[in-house]
Amino acid sequence: MIENLIEIKGVKHAYATASGPLPVLDGLDVSVPEGSFAAVVGPSGCGKSTLTRLVAGLMKPDEGEVWLHGERVRGPRKTVGMAFQNPVLLEWRTIIDNVILPLEIVAPRMSRADRIARAMELLEMVGLTGFENKRPSELSGGMRQRASLCRSLVHKPDVLIMDEPFGALDNFTREDLWQTMRDLRRAEPFTTILITHDLTESVFLGDQVIVLSGRPARTQYVMQVDLPDDRTLDVLYTPPVADMLHIL
Ligand code: ADP
Ligand code: MG
């Protein structure tokens, strides 16, 4: 049996607001096997970003449990990488010096040469070789997102949590990045939770799609994606998959 790297059981959470508690999550169940890719979809405001904060250990749920690698999550962890819609790259640092940043924190004894070698390996995988000495402002939005993905992965986190990372990109750039994500995962099979409101993206990237809805939200259903590993975008436009997207 495959171990579930991420296990979220019966999670409930409410925010304290001036007008009283605002219940956001009311029964969240998510299991992500090691090395697999879970796409979480749900309408805006349903608690998706809240879910990422709970898994990353940045917040504690009111009820229920979050487990990572067989350990109860009680605070932030170095083994979690995060990616967001608007990545903050440090403008005064070059791309390579942005990418190695997590290594400076989690692997202070690693030599600079080793850090750079690791970062260059990732930059090559995402097609940014030759841009390592540029400043972030010299790169397009898609390239900045690629660089920030490298930064999220440079320290080999067990888990990558992505909160609508491709939401601000145009369609062509977004589809390129989907392909890059698949390539990266083939090279380094990290476990991923991707938050998205794009159903096509959820099915193209996910091994399972978890649907949240309701107010407060709960896990409505979980769909296993039964598509080949070398899937292309074309496969999503064939009738069975198009039907699946329709049902979602
Ligand atoms: P999503 O990412 O799905 O759009 P969020 O998890 O960001 O949803 O937010 C869910 C709900 O909780 C929203 O109604 C939002 O306004 C509210 N919310 C989020 N963060 C806070 C907070 N820190 N304090 C109070 N309310 C919050
Ligand atoms: Mg959000």
- ipTM score: 0.98
Q: Beta strand pairing status for 20-33 and 37-41?
A: unpaired
Q: What is the pLDDT of residue 117?
A: 98
- Residue 45 beta carbon below 6 angstroms from any ligand 1 atom: yes
Low-confidence ranges of the chain (pLDDT < 50): 1
Ligand 1 atom with the smallest distance to the CA of 163 is 2
Ligand 1 atom with the smallest distance to the CA of 22 is 26
- Residue 48 beta carbon below 6 angstroms from any ligand 1 atom: yes
Q: How far apart are CA 216 and CA 209, in angstroms?
A: 19
First CA to last CA distance, the chain: 28
pTM confidence score: 0.92
Q: What is the pLDDT of residue 2?
A: 52
The pair of structure tokens assigned to 122 is 């990732």
Burial of 5 (0-12, 13-18, 19+ CB in 10 A): buried
Q: What is the pLDDT of residues 171-195, one digit of tens each?
A: 999 999 999 999 999 898 899 999 9
Q: How far apart are CA 82 and CA 148, in angstroms?
A: 9
